[in-house]
Amino acid sequence: MKTLQPIENIIINYLEGTCTEDELRCLSAWLDDSPRNREEFFEVKNIFEKENVCFLSEQEINARWLKLVEAGGLANQGAEQTGSSDMISRKKKRIFRSFLRYAAVVIAAAFLGYGTQRYIASQEEILFNEMTIEAGNKSSIILSDGTKVTLNASTTLRYPSRFGRQREVWLDGEAFFEVASDTKRPFIVYSQQQAVEVLGTSFNVQAYRGDVYNTVTLLSGSVTLKIFDAQGNRIDERRMEPYEQYRFDLDKGLLSLNTLDNVDKYRSWTDGIYRFRDEKLAVIVSRLEFYYGIKIRIADEQMKNMLYTGAFPLDQPIGEVFSLLNYENKFVIKIEGRNFVLDKK
């Protein structure tokens, strides 16, 4: 059997377009071996293509992998040969991550005329942090560019220690952004199946993982909202104006526009108040689950579409919140262990 090169060399050959058929099979097997391998591959691919580090979200990594599979290139090569992953030794996997960063930077430097040592040093300084806010809390952070982010309950923000040519963060949950103006570097917020791109403005993003709706609300400036399907293909793009709110239904793939009225224009949840107007009970219940860290089940399907308008402090006890929602005495509240059940009378 022909001896293959180490996987890091095969990746470099692939990026340069010089991969042999056997190397393609080996690369395909390695990519299929674990999601982490695919993440490392696409990180290097981004450096090679864009001359900039671009750490992708898990969703974006999987979407790009699906595109490669559908293209029939790597995936088909791997399907023709079994046991290829055995060619990659455990030792190579252990040393691969550090070498991968180095190899990718060398590629970028060689092709784009940068001094290798200077480029490597600049990349080593970039570290990624995660900030997670537990249920029932909120917190604020100032990013390296001066952008202020206020995080709501049950929210996680992933951000770099410093920004490169683009300012990119990843959000799971809800956050209010007051973006520092920088006309040369757009600020991009990635969340499930959407990306919000701005230069300097204030806006709110509500996109909890597993939730049915994503909501983006713009208070000042302008933003570009990009919507993606589950495979990572862009299906819509809108330019938002102040006081517009877009809601994306992930199940139906529908994007709807709402204009804030005079009462809502100057208020947001950051003042500690959760406000809702003609909102379905199912959506309100989903918000309560994230804010309070509890589980709520609506037993009757028809109840999910009941509309409510109101407001309450986010530190108000959940029992009092239920009482406000049930002011017309339309349902009963049951407790099953640590969960709550709302059922029709």
Write out pLDDT tens, residues 37-94.
Answer: 777 777 676 666 554 444 445 555 556 556 555 555 554 444 444 444 444 444 444 4
Residue 265's pLDDT is what? Answer: 52
Per-residue model confidence as pLDDT tens digits over 142-180:
998 899 999 998 999 999 988 888 899 999 999 999 999
pTM of the predicted model, to two decimals?
0.58
Q: Could you give all domains of the chain from N- to C-terminal order, each with its CATH number?
A: 7-124 (no CATH), 128-259 (2.60.120.1440), 272-344 (3.55.50.30)
Per-residue model confidence as pLDDT tens digits over 207-265:
888 788 899 999 888 899 999 888 788 889 999 988 898 989 888 888 999 887 755 65
Residue 149's pLDDT is what? Answer: 93
Residue 48's pLDDT is what? Answer: 61
Most confident of 13-27, 40-54, 59-73, 185-199: 185-199
Residue 36's pLDDT is what? Answer: 73
Residue 49's pLDDT is what? Answer: 56
Residue 101's pLDDT is what? Answer: 46
Residue 28's pLDDT is what? Answer: 76
CA neighbours closer than 13 Å in the CB half-sphere of residue 344: 9
Residue 78's pLDDT is what? Answer: 44
Return the higher-pLDDT residue of 120 and 324: 324
Residue 32 has pLDDT above 90, yes or no: no
Over range 90-112, report the average pLDDT: 44
Residue 110's pLDDT is what? Answer: 43
Residue 158's pLDDT is what? Answer: 92
Residue 200's pLDDT is what? Answer: 80
Per-residue model confidence as pLDDT tens digits over 269-311:
777 788 888 888 988 998 888 888 889 999 888 899 899 988 8
Residue 161's pLDDT is what? Answer: 86
